Amino acid sequence: MSSSQRQRRRVRRLALPAAMLLLVGGAVTIQSTAPAAAAETTLRAAAAKAGLFFGTASSPNRLYPILAQEFGQLTPENDMKPDRIATSSGGLQNTSGADQLVNHAQSNNMVVRGHTLVWHSQAGALQGASQSTLNTFIGNAINRWGSKIAYWDVVNESLEDNNTGRRRNQWPHTMNRDANGDGDYFDAGDTDVIRDSFIRAKQVVQAGGYSTKLCINDYDVEGLTVKGGGPNRKANALYDIVRTYRQYIDCVGFQSHFNDNPNSIISDDLQANIQRFADLGVEVHLSEVDIDDDLSNNDIGAGQAENYRKVVRACLNVAKCTGITVWGISDSESWRSSERGLLFTGGNGNYQKKSAYYAVLDELNKGRGTTTPPPTTTPPPTTPPPTTPPPTTPPPTTPPPTTPPPTTPPPTTPPPATGCTATVSLNSWTGGFVATVRVTAGSSPISGWNVQLTLPSGAAVTSVWNANRTGTSGSVQFSNVNYNGSVNAGQYTEFGFQGTGAASGLTPVCTAS
């Protein structure tokens, strides 16, 4: 038996956590078989139990046992990039590294995130190619691995740096043509490398019958706001792209390279931003996480472990945040080794866990937050009846229905009284703000909520996530959406909105049902 065979066998023995990600017919299925109470001891198992993958980027020369033990997902760090595998006519070459990674993932039940098809950097022989050649490459690459690749980054880093909110202007975006000159690329008559690449990718996936999901991936798009509280225009531009081309786009990657760049910080509205993309119906991944731990300028404050906790929690609290990938295993092997941004020290397969590792494991073991729909088997509450009075809403003034009354008798016990409170935290800048509203259930669970607040004169809501809204200025009402109306006693859920003007001194009034 060769040493690599011995290694693979050892990996298989060690890599069977109680809860694992399975590939069933190419589709990703989360299977949990561990007793609910036991804390898992690997990132992979803890994440799988919470219903998401936890993965890393790797290369063929780093397929150490720890990879499959700790990680349930694998992204080729460089081996699927066009400069490695594309010919100038859109064919494939040098796929042995990528094949090796896919095979390793398959034999260890790991999900693969393909990275990446259309990118201005590391384009290799495709640099300057036409849309037609890009389409040829997209077809060849997707077809080579089919459903073995659960997620493909179709378009990577399409937006400009420095929070301009614009697309890059170098190839492949030079192929964009705003046919009617109205300043956007979203009209049917325009050519748009983003749209056209996704359309091609979708065609290939459908023709092949693959389960592969198609992602757009970028950095500095993580928060709703950037350092200082101004709007994250790059995130807003990405949001517009996903909203407009939603029919072709299945998933969004927030790269999550967090560092001291003002546009790369960990902002308090990370979760709200994940949520607004999730509300479009796409899966969200934190796809290339590393968090700067450069003590020489100690620039992201709370300490690396706490920062990791915060980032992982933001994902866990959004049901459609379905995966987290760290960009490498150990600091010394990271593309940004000087920032010490990862979860392990050491190298060459001999790795030591950092405190950030334990923070992530602990957070994953706590599972999803209250914004996840509760299981339908939740037992009835055993808490005593609440002391809050029943709602004082007057009876409806609409006439009684003409349909016959139900034959079931009315319940003999009154429904439990309910209550909730709401608090607002504001992130303001000159001319605008983001509000995060926390709705907390009282001593009984609630199954729906409504929050009323009065905006000061001159302030207006421009967008909302995680809630339905009535009104944009003056008195504005927010109510739960279908997945966050149920909140257990003492637990909370959050929604948010962005607005123009100033919004200090908000006093929310919460009514529960």
Residues at the interface with ligand G3I (CB under 6 A):
77-78, 121-122, 255, 288, 335
Q: Residues of 330-347 as b/e, b for ≥16 C-beta within 10 angstroms?
A: bbebbebeebbbbbbebe
Q: Which of 40, 70, 160, 288 is catalytic?
A: 288
- Strand-pair partners of 156: 119, 217
Place of tokens 């490459």: 137
Q: What is the DSSP string of 304-366?
A: HHHHHHHHHHHHHTSTTEEEEEES-SBGGGSTTGGG--SSEEEETTEEEE-HHHHHHHHHHHH
CA distance 373 to 481: 11
Q: Catalytic site residue 288?
A: yes
Instruction: List Cα–Cα distances, 119 to 30, 76, 129, 236, in angstroms.
Output: 31, 15, 11, 20
**Whole-number minimum distance, CB 82 to ligand G3I, in Å?**
11
23 or 138, CB closer to ligand G3I? 138
115 or 195, CB closer to ligand G3I? 115
**Whole-number minimum distance, CB 227 to ligand G3I, in Å?**
20
Q: What is the DSSP string of 456-483?
A: PTT-EEEEEESSEEE-SSSEEEEE--TT
The structure tokens listed for 413 are 């016990």
**Whole-number minimum distance, CB 12 to ligand G3I, in Å?**
28
Compute the CA torsion angle 372, 373, 378, 383 (nearest 10 deg): 70
78 or 473, CB closer to ligand G3I? 78
78 or 477, CB closer to ligand G3I? 78
**Whole-number minimum distance, CB 327 to ligand G3I, in Å?**
6
**Whole-number minimum distance, CB 251 to ligand G3I, in Å?**
16
121 or 468, CB closer to ligand G3I? 121
**Whole-number minimum distance, CB 476 to ligand G3I, in Å?**
39
**Whole-number minimum distance, CB 115 to ligand G3I, in Å?**
6
Q: Where are the alpha helices (DSSP H) in 251-297?
A: 270-278
**Whole-number minimum distance, CB 449 to ligand G3I, in Å?**
39
294 or 306, CB closer to ligand G3I? 294
Place of tokens 């008798």: 409
59 or 500, CB closer to ligand G3I? 59
Q: Catalytic site residue 40?
A: no
Q: Is 480 exposed, middle or buried (0-12, 13-18, 19+ CB in 10 A)?
A: buried
Closest among 149, 143, 249 to 199, alpha carbons compared:
249
Coil vs helix vs strand at 58: strand
342 or 364, CB closer to ligand G3I? 342
Q: Which of 40, 157, 283, 333 is catalytic?
A: 157
**Whole-number minimum distance, CB 77 to ligand G3I, in Å?**
5
Question: Which DSSP symbol is given to 129?
Answer: -
CB 36 within 8 A of CB 74: no
Place of tokens 């359309």: 199
304 or 334, CB closer to ligand G3I? 334
- Strand-pair partners of 159: 167
**Residue number with the smallest Cβ distance to ligand G3I:** 335
Q: What is the DSSP string of 350-401?
A: EEEE-HHHHHHHHHHHH---TTSPPPTTPPPP-SPPPSSPPP-PPPP-SPPP
Instruction: List Cα–Cα distances, 198 to 169, 395, 508, in angstroms.
Output: 19, 51, 42
CB 286 within 8 A of CB 311: yes
CB 502 within 8 A of CB 433: yes
Catalytic residues: 157, 288
